Structure formats: structure tokens, C-alpha cells
Amino acid sequence: MNINNERLAKVFTAMCTIESPSGEEARLAMFLKDLFAQEFPEAVITEDDSARTTGSDSNNLVILFPGNLPGEPIFFNCHLDTVEPSRGVTVVREGSRFSSAGETILGGDDKAGIAILIEAVRTIKEARLSHPPFDLVFTTCEEIGLRGAKALDISLLRAREGYALDSSGVDLLITGAPAANHFHFTITGAAAHAGLHPERGINAIQLAARCLADLPLGRLDEESTANVGRITGGKATNIIPESVLVEGEIRSHSAEKLAIFSQQVRDAAQSVIDKWSPDPGAQLGASVRPLLDFHLTQEYPAMHIDRHASVIRRVDKAATRLQREIRYERAGGGSDANIFNKNGLQTAIIGIGMDHVHSTEESIDLRDMKRTTELVIALITN
């Protein structure tokens, strides 16, 4: 396969400089629509009406390529959005490795995946390689709750199985990922002047601290994790804080464990409220006591693909053609693939070589991108 490394590098760096934080993907979407329309007039470019649901300035894109061989179509997915800080990206290249200048992310998550798909399609066209039909799916708002995937109109796709290019590692296929529950709770106490009348207050932040001290966080077991990521509350240092908001998540590959750990979080918060009693000397009315408002929502379901599924067998076949070994693993994070699998689109995740994602130290190697491009071509032309 005559993959053009520098062409791959050029389109990747060009996309990295197009700002596309979650909810602002329109410029990158337009770049892709123009590119595919100009270079691949045979492709059908469609989009859904997902922006009304996601809040993005762009819809999801679905691009349909005709085939010249019989066979079931497959799809490939990448997301258009990036995490912050992503404004004013300067791409630094040292040899074959790309990074940012250090003030922003690079954007390889997931623009490296998009660049790989572009180069794969270009190579297939130039080499006139035969292939069945295939679809490309570009989603919005992946980084803020998989909103684009959740709102995707799957009737626009012909394929019912495929691959998401969205993981670290190379020559790697993710066949399982955990479910995640998001929780947030508000503890309401009582405000008072911290210097004049502290006896009239109930410190909501202190109550939240007692709750968090009892919570199991980090890696809970080999299948499960928990984290508290945001705490907001209080108005000024001279006011006893009346309320505090705590936000976090629980993930697990086991639905049973996810339910158990989620209940533990709820119980820990409720226990602090139930055990509360006024301090000696408190000047509170008989009915004044702290309150808890707890909410738990499912962010995404778990995914698990059987080792003998056709979407896995196709990778086995492609790897044999390329004379390489593919590692099969379970991931610790969620992606569009979780939602696609839930909605009947069997989806495995391909590692594309991203490193230190979601940080200003993010980088990716062109050699890994090329290697993944070879795998994508082999999958399309299987």
C-alpha cells in the first residue's frame, strides 16, 4: 500500500489548527464536507438533525461510499470535538512525532483518527482497490457525554457494524468498555455571618467533606472506578456556606457492581445528613437541619463484544493479511462505541497511537498513524 506519509501529516496538522471544542464543531465539519465533496464526488454526504438535541453548532456527518464488490457494508467513526484548552493550537513536529507547543492540547483525540480515515480513502481511490460499500460517521460532543452518538440518526447508515478510531495504543482493538453513572448531590445547610453569628449557621461544605472522607474513590476493584471531579459552593469567606454541589462518576464493567457502588455513594451522603446534630451552643430553630438532594443518571452502558463476533473476525483476517498481531483488551473509558453498541451497531474500538490525551502533553507518532491507516485499508478491502 502506497500510503503518503506527508499527505497524512499535512491533513492532520491542518485539522489540529481548526478549533473544534465540544459544541463548536461547525468549522471542522465544513472542512470535511468540502474535502470529501471535492475529492470524492461519488460519496454521498449527509447529516442528521442532532444539533437541536446536542446544542452543537453542527450536526453529525455521515458519508456513504459506494462499493465495487458485493458484501455487507461497514462503518468507521471518529468524533469531531476536542477537550479544552484547544484554542490557538500550534503543532510542533519533531521527526515523526507531533505535539502542541505546550499551552494547548494537540487534538489528536480524535483528529488523528479522522486524518487516518482520509488517507485510507485517498489511498484506496488512487490504487483503485476493490471494496464493498462503507460509511464514515463523524459525531459531535463526544467529550461532554457522547451527545452526538446519543442523538445520531442511525437510519442514515447502511452498515450495522464497524469501528471507532478513538483509543491510545496501536495494533490494539478494544472489545469491552465500562458503563458509567454520573452523580451529583447538593447539601443545603444554613447561611450565617461567620464572624458575628456562626452559631446560626450549618456549614454545607463541612458536611460534604465528611461525606467525601467516607467515599471509596479511585480504583475500586479490577472492573470498577469512582471519582469526584467537581465541588462548588459558598459565596464569601465571611459567610457560612449554605449549599455545596458535588459531582462525580462511577464506572464498572459489571452492571451489578455499578449499582452497588452507586448506592454506596448515595448511602454515604445520606448517612452524614442523618447523623448530623447541632453543635453545642447552636442557635437554630427546631426545624432547621441540613438537607440532601441526590441525583444519579446513566452516562452510557457497558459494551462487550464476543471474541467470535464478525466485527472481530474481520480484524483477525486483516491482521493476517498484514502479517501482524492485534492485541484485544478492555478499556477503562467510554466512547461513542458504547452508545452505538447499545443502539444495535456492533462497534469495536481501534487504537490509533494517541498518548497523554486530554493534556497539554498530548502527542502522536506519524508511524503509528500510518500503521493504523494500513489496518483500516485492510478492513475496508477485506
Q: From residue 224, give the alpha-carbon distance in Å to each of 145, 246, 255, 349.
A: 19, 20, 10, 20
Cβ-contact 372, 164 below 8 angstroms:
no
Distance CA 265, CA 217 (A): 10
Cβ-contact 318, 301 below 8 angstroms:
no
| Cβ-Cβ contacts under 8 Å for 98 (sequence gap 6 or more) | 9, 12, 13, 16, 91, 92, 106, 108, 363, 364, 365, 366
Reading the chain (382 residues) residue by residue, the pLDDT tens digits are: 689 999 999 999 999 999 999 999 999 999 999 999 999 999 999 999 999 999 999 999 999 999 999 999 999 999 999 999 999 999 999 999 999 999 999 999 999 999 999 999 999 999 999 999 999 999 999 999 999 999 999 999 999 999 999 999 999 999 999 999 999 999 999 999 999 999 999 999 999 999 999 888 999 999 999 999 999 999 999 999 999 999 999 999 999 999 999 999 999 999 999 999 988 888 988 889 999 999 999 999 999 999 999 999 999 999 999 999 999 999 988 999 999 999 999 999 999 999 999 999 999 999 999 999 999 999 999 8
Neighbouring-strand partners of residue 138: 61, 78
Torsion angle of C-alpha atoms 45, 49, 51, 52, degrees rounded to 10: 170
- Per-residue model confidence (pLDDT) at position 287: 85
Within this chain, domains 5-177+303-380 and 179-299 share the same CATH topology: no
| E strands present in 118-223 | 134-139, 161-165, 172-177, 179-188, 218-221
Distance CA 381, CA 38 (A): 23
Q: Which helix (H) or strand (E) holds 206?
A: helix 204-213
pTM value is: 0.91
The architecture (CATH level 2) of 179-299 comes to 2-Layer Sandwich (3.30)
- Per-residue model confidence (pLDDT) at position 8: 98
- Per-residue model confidence (pLDDT) at position 286: 82
Which one-letter amino acid corresponds to residue 25?
Answer: E
Distance CA 253, CA 180 (A): 9
- In the chain, where the domains are located: 5-177+303-380, 179-299
Q: What secondary structure letter does DSSP report for 360?
A: T
Q: Please provide the CATH number assigned to the domain covering 5-177+303-380.
A: 3.40.630.10
Cβ-contact 91, 17 below 8 angstroms:
yes
- Per-residue model confidence (pLDDT) at position 1: 67
Pick the closest to residue 254 from 304, 290, 216 (CA basis). 304
Distance CA 3, CA 32 (A): 20
Pick the closest to residue 378 from 308, 333, 337, 318 (CA basis). 318
Cβ-contact 128, 137 below 8 angstroms:
no
The residues assigned a catalytic role are: 81, 142
Cβ-contact 364, 108 below 8 angstroms:
yes
Which one-letter amino acid corresponds to residue 134?
Answer: F
Distance CA 96, CA 4 (A): 13
